[in-house]
Amino acid sequence: MTNVQTTTSPITAAFARARAERRVALIPYVMAGYPDLATGEALAVAFGQAGADLIEIGVPFSDPLADGATVQHASQIALEHGMTLAGALELAGRVSAQAATPLVLMTYYNPIFSYGIEHFCTAAKAAGVAGLIVPDLPAEEADPLLRAARECGIALVFLIAPTSTDARIETVARVAAETGGFIYCVALSGVTGARDRLPEDLAAFIARVRAHTSLPLAVGFGVARPEHVAAIGRIADGAVVASALLNAVDAAPPDQRVATGVAFLRDLQSGAHLDATSSP
């Protein structure tokens, strides 16, 4: 069953547009407050202007247990710069005023819980946030946030992992269908971080998820290169790129960081066109 919010969600529209243009949707990641407040914000705006389909804005947390070294480091620096959930919402508000790209906020649960769930969803909506990814909130614990987000017209994006049983995939897909947005398929068993290659069983995993949902599927964790994006385009609807992007930005001289980030995104976009990559 399709509800009103699902059909009108800017996230749904972004995936539909990418599909119509025969592209896999690209979802670059920015850590709020990293490498510093101004550069993080400039990167998000530049990604929007460069044609990112969605932008994921990471909120730093003191204990990012689903993250590998790159995001842990960025998180720590962002916290040292004083970034908070409230600060990330302010940043999202400024970005959405400058770019039409839908924003998805990625945060661990405790900052939301501490902020107050309903209060947070209202503020997120006002800041132009279209979706939420909460990596330590499985479907079983999601009811309070799901309810509040739905009332505000915000999609709660659930993760499904290669270890998820078919029974769990079915449950998560059912819950996710009520909130719209997309399903975040965790490509590998592990933490976030750039990898050289995608796992060999990725296609089989995505097929297992696809069997239970018609929502768009985005693949993240370990996605680092245009050929990864191209491979994901053959089996799913979107690719999330975080650590590899952070690494590229990190390696650039301070005055080149935004340009480097955009160049990295454009390189990934070269793998995003389905027609260019679908020949055997």
Partner 1 sequence: MTHPAETTTPPTSQPTYQHGAFPDARGRFGDFGGRFVPESLMAAIEELERAYADASADPAFASILAEQERTYTGRPTPLYHAARLSARVGASVYLKREDLAHTGAHKINNALGQGLLAARMGKRRIIAETGAGQHGVATATVCAKLGLECVVYMGAEDIRRQSLNVFRMKLLGAEVRPVTAGSRTLKDAINEAMRDWVTNVATTYYLIGSAVGPHPYPMMVRDFQSVIGRETRAQCLDQLGRLPDLVVACVGGGSNAIGMFHPFAGDPSVRLVGVEAGGSGVESGKHAATLVAGRPGVLHGALSYLLQDANGQVTETHSISAGLDYPGVGPEHSYLRATGRATYVAADDTAALHAFQTLCEDEGIIPALESAHAVAHVLGERGALRPDDVVVINLSGRGDKDINTVADALGVTL
Q: Which one of 190, 203, 208, 247 is in contact with partner 1 (CB under 8 A)?
A: 190
202-210 and 166-179 helices cross at what angle (nearest 10)? 60
CB of 146 or CB of 248, closer to partner 1: 146
Query: 56 an active-site residue?
Result: yes
Q: Distance between CA atoms of 113 and 141, rounded to whole angstroms? A: 12
Rule CB under 8 A: which of 67-96 touch partner 1? 68, 72, 76, 79, 84-86
Q: Which one of 33, 35, 64, 128 is in contact with partner 1 (CB under 8 A)?
A: 64
Q: Cβ of residue 96: shortest distance to partner 1, in angstroms?
A: 21
Query: 80 an active-site residue?
Result: no
Q: Cβ of residue 188: shortest distance to partner 1, in angstroms?
A: 9
Catalytic site residue from 56, 143, 166, 178: 56
Q: Is the dihedral of CA 107, 110, 111, 116 positive or negative?
A: positive
Catalytic site residue from 36, 41, 53, 67: 67
- Tell me if 49 contacts partner 1 by CB under 8 A: no
CB of 111 or CB of 261, closer to partner 1: 111
Q: Which one of 19, 168, 208, 273 is in contact with partner 1 (CB under 8 A)?
A: 168
Phi, psi (5° rounding) for residue 141? -105, 5
Looking at the annotation, which residues are catalytic? 56, 67
The binding site for partner 1 (CB under 8 A) comprises 61-66, 68, 72, 76, 79, 84-86, 108-117, 135-138, 140-141, 143-144, 158-165, 168, 172, 186, 189-191
